[in-house]
Amino acid sequence: MIDLITLTKKEVARFLRVWKQTLVPPVITIVLYLWIFWKFIWDRISVVEGVSYIDFIFPGLLMMSVIMAAYQNTSSSFFGAKFQKSIEELFVSPMAYWKILLGFCAWAMLRAIMVAWLVFASAAFMTDISIAHIGLAIVFILLSALLFALLGLFNALYAKSFDDISLIPTFLITPLIYLGWVFYPISILPPFWQFVSQFNPILYMIWGLRYAFIWESEINIFLSFGILVFFIVVFTSIILYLLKRWYGIRT
C-alpha cells in the first residue's frame, strides 16, 4: 500500500499548502449566506415546514460547500498533473488503477469533510444549529463528497484546458444546487415543476442531509440514499474503464 499512501500524502499536502484558497473561501461564502438570510430575511420568513428558516436552509448550504470542495479538489489536482505531464509517471508505475482513483477521491473527501466542519463551526456562532441524527448526516456528506470527487475526476480526464474544468460547476452544478430546494420547500411549486425537479440528483442529497438535521423530509430517505449509491457505482465503473484505456492521458 506504499503507492496509495504516497499518492494520498501528496494530495493532502497539496490542498493544505494552499489552505487560504481551498478551505477559507467556502466558509466565508456560507457565512455570508447565513448572515444575509439571518439579518434581512428571517424576520419575513420565520418558519418553513415547521422549523425556523435558518434551520431549513443550512443543510442545503452545507451540502453546497461539500459538493464544490470535493469536485474542485479532484478536477484541479488531476488536470494539473496532466498539464504538468507528471501524471505520466503515475501511469507507467505498477500502481493499480483503483488505487489511482481512490488516492485522488479519498482526500477530496477529506477536504470536503474539513470544509463541512469549518462551515458548521462557523455557523454555530451565528445561530443555534443542531443535528437530529449525526450518523446519517456523516453518511450523506461522505457519499455526496465521493460522488462529486468522482465527477471532478471524470471531468479532468476529458478536459483539455483549465477552462473546461470550470464548465461543469458553472453550467451544471451551480444551477442544479439552486434548483435543489436549498432555499424553498417543494410544496410551494406548481405540480409540473415539482415533477420536473425530481430529476435533479442534487435535490436528493440536500434533502437527505436535511432529514438528518431536522428529521423532516418531503423525499423518501431510502430513495435519496439509493440514488447516491447508484451514481457512485456508475461513475466509478466509467472512470476505471477510462483509466485503463489511458483516456485523456495519451497525446
pLDDT at residue number 209: 92
Any alpha helices (H) in the chain, and if so which ranges? 2-17, 19-22, 24-36, 53-84, 87-92, 97-124, 134-158, 162-168, 174-178, 191-197, 201-214, 221-244
DSSP state of 129: -
Contacts of 226 (CB under 8 A, 6+ apart): none
Question: 52 in helix, strand or coil?
Answer: strand
Q: What is the pLDDT along the chain (251 residues), one digit of tens a residue?
A: 787 888 888 878 888 888 888 889 888 998 888 888 776 776 666 677 677 888 888 999 999 999 999 999 999 889 988 888 888 888 888 889 999 999 899 889 999 999 999 999 988 887 778 788 999 999 999 999 999 999 999 999 988 888 888 888 888 898 888 888 888 887 787 888 888 888 899 999 998 999 999 876 667 888 999 999 999 999 999 999 999 988 877 65
Handedness of CA 104, 105, 109, 112 (dihedral sign): positive
Q: Model pTM?
A: 0.89
User: Of 186, 7, 210, which Cα lies nearest the Cα of 96?
Assistant: 7
Question: How is residue 224 written as a grid cell?
Answer: 435519496
Strand partners, 51: 48
Question: How is residue 197 written as a grid cell?
Answer: 425537479
User: Of 37, 30, 22, which Cα lies nearest the Cα of 61?
Assistant: 30
Question: How is residue 42 written as a grid cell?
Answer: 428571517
